[in-house]
Amino acid sequence: MQEDIDELNQSISSTATTIRSEIAGKVAAINQSITEVENSIPTAVSELTNDSNYTTKSYVDGEIAGVQSEIPTNVSELINDSNYTAKSYVDDAIADIV
């Protein structure tokens, strides 16, 4: 009877060792997978793929510079489409009347 118990204990111990070893192997494989996934996650914008056609800062800066060069900075560069008059014209017209 004791021999049967010892044999059963030996079998249980051997099975437990095998199970522990299999679990350790699976845990190691899961940890490796986690590491691979973590290493594949981009951590900088430069690592991303521009699949939404977002623009770059240099493109926007270039476009703004092009538009800024077209903006008049002096009154003489404006088109008088509302028939405004210059102060000197009004002063001269008044002087002619007076």
Model pLDDT for residues 60-70, shown as the tens digit of each residue: 999 998 888 88
Q: How many helices (H) and strands (E) does the chain have?
A: 3, 0
* CA pair distance 62, 55, nearest whole angstrom: 11
- Is residue 1 within 8 Å of 7, Cβ to Cβ? no
Span 4-45, pLDDT tens digits: 898 999 999 999 999 999 999 999 999 999 999 999 999 998
CA atoms within 13 A on the CB side of 77: 6
pTM of the model: 0.44
* CA pair distance 55, 67, nearest whole angstrom: 17
* CA pair distance 28, 40, nearest whole angstrom: 18
